[in-house]
Amino acid sequence: MVPIHTACGLLITIVASLCPCGPLGAFVVALLVACYTQFDKVVRNQYYGYPDEWFPSVSAATGDRYPARSIFQILIAVTAGPRFAILGLWYLYASSKLHHPPTLARVLLGVGLVRTVACGVFVYITSTDHHDVHDIGMLLYILCTFPYMAGIIWCERRLSGVAVQQAVRWRKRLGILFVATLGPLLYYFLQHKVHRVKGAYSIYAMFEWSLIFYDIAFDACSAHCFHRLKILVVDAGRASERRASLAPGYCRSWASTGIASLRSLPFVKAWSAHVSTLEGVYFGADIYLAYVFWSLLTAVPLAIWYFPLWHMGLSGDELYLFANMGTVLLGIPLVRRLASTCCGFLHLATVLTLVAYQFPAPEHRLYFTAGGAFLACIAWFSSFSARSSDRDAYAWLLGLIASCVAKAACRTNNPIWPIMHADNGGWNLTGLLLGVVASVLIIHRDRRSPPPSPDANTAIAPTEKPATTTTTTQGWLPASVGFGALLFALHTVFSDSTTPLRWAVDGYPHIGAQPVPWGLLSILAMCGGLALAQCPQTLSTRWLAYGVASIFLFSATSGWLSFFGGLGFAVFLFSIAPNLILTLGARPLGRSLTVALLLYNLLLLAHVWTVAYEFVPGGPLLRERTWIVMTVMTLALSAGFMGARARPHPSLYTPTKQHPQVQLAYEQRHRATRAVSKLASLALCALGALAYLSRVQLHAPQPHTPAEHRAFTAAIWTIHFGIDNDMWASEQRMKAIIEELGIDVIGLLESDLQRVITGNRDLTQSLGEALNMYTDYGPASSKHTWGCTMLSRFPIKRSSHHLLPSPEGELACAIYATLDVHGTDVDVIVSHNGQEENLLDRRMQTTELARIASTATNPIVFLGYVVSKPFGEIYNLLMGEGKLNDVDPTDWDRWCEYIGFRGLKRIAYARISHGGITDTEIQSAKFQLLGAPRPGNRMPLGKYVSESALPEALHYPPQFRHNGQRGHRYHVFNEPRYFD
């Protein structure tokens, strides 16, 4: 017996939840596996391969290659049962509701069966097996789809019920999209087949995949029809007993006494605990998807930076920074409703863009990353206008903290960035799979919790999917600018836990807080601020004054004082962030997001312009004026703060004003959100502590050269911001070559990565830990230089940071340090001077460096970037007025990197190719301490000798001779040079 009732049965819920997700999951898994295992093969067609074709067709991904083909066939077989079940259930539902045309329901059942069997034909008989049979099955499937969609829409339009009509609306939209896609699909197929246009087949494949999505989503709409359907399996032998049990008196008696007893049963308690745990799992999925959001948002400027870096100016790719502006589409009610009801699928589409790491071409990784950021912004910003936006706001902020923890564990590289892959420490595939699982969990939660009924007497359970808030236009501008400033501050200062430490670092011995272990305090401050968000005091004017004071302390001071200001800034910002988010969600999203994201993007550009002003239009207006950017941010945060003070929190929602049950449900959900967010914060703090404690160095650095030789190896290298020539993070490759060359002291230029365009990374700390070396970060991130850093295996006794004169061009930086080299003080200068366009700058900068070098009383080594030919004007300024010896005056093939010395004996010199890590070679030299050095005089240079004339401990490694390894080799001279 299959009666139809007004309640939703368990079996229908399972079938309705499995049917939409199962086939889609099969296709998505097949696509991911095919791209991961055999990308070059599945994108290749009869005319072209990668990079001309870059996206596989449905048949290529699901049917051409093992293991994707086998996995897909297994998964699609698992979903076959629910697929047939949904056909039967719809027929039972429609035939019982339609009074005069039940025949149409039978016809549609038959068409649906033929359509499903045809799907099995082209799935299990691929074009490789039998091309004609495969094409016949696909053509039959498409032909059956038209009457199937039209017939179902025609039938359901004649049925009553809000849920059915909602299904009709969605079916119409999906049907129109399905038909509209066929035109461009055919066009690009002809472009590929007839005109043989490169890339046309990849675009055709994208339209083909969209047909799959529309088709599955069309069937998923059946769930709206089934939510009031229930299947009962009845034992006929006990029918009379069941009838008695359903008598009204029995029901009243059971209702009065049975519920209390039922709640005390052990399995009911276990079920309740399971539901509570499940809600925690859902919240964990939200946090992970927020982590994906922040990963993509921070990856966009990082991926963009690669292109102007090589063009030495604007490249046009900077426009991808504004991909987030596409969220203004949320101002359209249809788009907003679509984003709200399909949020899980939006998250899934966002996660799939993490596959960018599979594309070798940098531009393709940028396209995927920018697209993912756009989808992530749509998914998250649409959720901020929901009744559960407090839950989403906390998850969004915890996702940022989770990204800081992940970067701390991976030495400030986000493991799912598009610059990462398995060979340089990336966890891209793991991150992608976890994202798919999290997205499926959100889809399941949305399916499990249907939208609340419009009936005023219907209570809303705490797990139900929220409706949108009642918006007000009052105060929308302060809310918008407040959120834009919040987003900028979170991205610029708190997307890495080491940024507040590097903002105003000083020289030795008073260097201030170091990333390990003090970066943990940044994470604790963020979590602590989030825990304070519910305190009423955080909306007082005194709290605003505290926040403004913290920002000033952070921006205007240095060392520990600046770090303490940064911690106060973190507490303040995270304590007000949920209220700023909720305030934004209560305003019209279209105009609010337009202003907020425009301000956010303009502040990002201004933040970059303060350093990169020489290569951009209007750059001098913001030259070295970070204080302007911070002031605008502070004023915008203050405006948003004052707007949030006037927000009536739960009473803003009109349904909450009218229905006490809704109010109770809201308060229960709010308490649950606070509890689970606190647990998540504690977990993240614990993980952060483990990450930082595991990075504490337990052994003091040791020089490569034994102390009895009283020698050391020095080097200079311009590292191009830790991004190699193919846009991959290069820290691990840099670590390998520095270690293999046996370098004891190295100056690294273009090393300040604590900016949005370089990912807010701490390459200095990362290399220092990996190589077990002492580090000097150089001038702080707030000093408007591109950075110079020094790594040393000898203790750094003292150091000073210098901003060299730069009246026309970008600020040049220098480090002047004293090292304890085998018990003797040795001075080292590391500098990055200006470019060839500004001769005045280079003259003044080199004159200052020469002054510093000439006044040194210890033996000294100069490791610097000075744009000049040997014996040119700038060269003579440095070597002559600085009283320095050139490491090899006969080396005429130099342009920017130079090594000078005084009071030491040179014993070797080598030039090593960059190996694709950057565009600049490594220059290295070996020096030996003199018994009685005379640092005030320039020493005469020795003569060339063979390698065998020196002890083996002073030799350069042999593996870099001839062709070398990993792209590194001795070049120019093809071998090291040795001196007596």
The stretch 612-630 carries a mean pLDDT of: 85
For residue 379, the model assigns a pLDDT of 93
For residue 836, the model assigns a pLDDT of 81
| Sign of the Cα pseudo-torsion (865, 869, 871, 872, in order) | negative
Dump pLDDT digits (tens) for 567-599: 999 999 999 999 999 888 878 888 899 999 999
Kindly tell me if the per-residue pLDDT of 487 is higher than 80: yes
Q: Which of 822, 832, 914, 968 is catalytic?
A: 832
CB burial of residue 334 (10 Å; 0-12, 13-18, 19+): exposed
Angstrom distance (rounded) from CA 765 to CA 93: 65
Kindly tell me if the per-residue pLDDT of 461 is higher than 50: no
Structural Rg of the chain based on CA atoms: 33
Angstrom distance (rounded) from CA 223 to CA 13: 8
Dump pLDDT digits (tens) for 257-293: 444 444 444 434 443 443 467 888 899 999 999 999 9
For residue 387, the model assigns a pLDDT of 57
Residue given tokens 């699901």 in the structure block: 62
709 is catalytic: no
Sheet with 860-865, side-by-side order of all strands: 796-804, 812-821, 824-832, 860-865, 897-902, 885-886
The stretch 908-925 carries a mean pLDDT of: 95
For residue 778, the model assigns a pLDDT of 94
| 233-242, 283-292, 881-890, 904-913: range with lowest mean pLDDT | 233-242
Kindly tell me if the per-residue pLDDT of 21 is higher than 50: no
For residue 2, the model assigns a pLDDT of 34
Dump pLDDT digits (tens) for 319-375: 899 999 988 888 888 888 888 888 899 999 999 999 999 999 999 999 999 999 999
Three-state SS at 616: coil
171 with 153: CB under 8 angstroms?
A: yes
Distances (CA, A) of 771 to 159, 407, 612, 732, 958: 71, 19, 31, 10, 21
Which is higher by pLDDT, 447 or 881?
Answer: 881
Phi, psi for 909 (deg, rounded to 5): -150, 135
For residue 696, the model assigns a pLDDT of 87
Angstrom distance (rounded) from CA 611 to CA 810: 7
For residue 258, the model assigns a pLDDT of 42
Residue 537 per-residue DSSP state: G
Dump pLDDT digits (tens) for 107-152: 777 777 887 787 777 777 766 667 667 778 777 877 887 787 777 7
| 54-68, 522-536, 633-647, 698-712: range with lowest mean pLDDT | 54-68
Domain topology for 707-979: Deoxyribonuclease I; Chain A (3.60.10)
| 30-39, 437-446, 618-627: range with lowest mean pLDDT | 30-39
| 54-68, 183-197, 458-472, 633-647: range with lowest mean pLDDT | 458-472
Kindly tell me if the per-residue pLDDT of 162 is higher than 90: no
Residue given tokens 């290569």 in the structure block: 615
Dump pLDDT digits (tens) for 762-779: 999 999 999 999 999 999
Kindly tell me if the per-residue pLDDT of 482 is higher than 60: yes
For residue 1, the model assigns a pLDDT of 34
Dump pLDDT digits (tens) for 77-88: 777 666 677 777
For residue 460, the model assigns a pLDDT of 33
Which is higher by pLDDT, 788 or 72?
Answer: 788
CA 424 to chain centre: 17
Kindly tell me if the per-residue pLDDT of 225 is higher than 90: no
What are the boundaries of each domain within the chain? 1-234, 281-464, 476-652, 707-979
For residue 96, the model assigns a pLDDT of 65
Angstrom distance (rounded) from CA 408 to CA 762: 10
731 with 767: CB under 8 angstroms?
A: yes
Nearest partner of 464 among 449, 481, 474, judged by Cα: 449
pTM of the model: 0.73
Task: Kindly state the tokens that stand for 129.
Answer: 């097996």
Angstrom distance (rounded) from CA 961 to CA 951: 19
The stretch 403-407 carries a mean pLDDT of: 96
Asked, colleague to colleague, whether 476-652 and 707-979 share their fold, the answer is no
Q: Quickly state the pLDDT bin for 377 (edges 50, 70, 90).
A: very high
For residue 268, the model assigns a pLDDT of 41
Three-state SS at 670: helix
For residue 75, the model assigns a pLDDT of 77
| 171-175, 334-338, 725-729: range with lowest mean pLDDT | 171-175
Kindly tell me if the per-residue pLDDT of 977 is higher than 80: yes
Phi, psi for 589 (deg, rounded to 5): -65, -35
Nearest partner of 50 among 201, 194, 183, judged by Cα: 201
Q: Quickly state the pLDDT bin for 612 (edges 50, 70, 90).
A: confident
Q: Quickly state the pLDDT bin for 163 (edges 50, 70, 90).
A: low
Kindly tell me if the per-residue pLDDT of 4 is higher than 60: no
Distances (CA, A) of 421 to 260, 429, 641: 56, 9, 41
Nearest partner of 925 among 901, 942, 945, judged by Cα: 901
% of the chain at pLDDT higher than 70: 82
Domain topology for 476-652: Growth Hormone; Chain: A; (1.20.1250)
Q: Quickly state the pLDDT bin for 97 (edges 50, 70, 90).
A: low
Kindly tell me if the per-residue pLDDT of 20 is higher than 80: no
Task: Return mean pLDDT, the chain.
Answer: 82
Task: Kindly state the tokens that stand for 933.
Answer: 């050095």
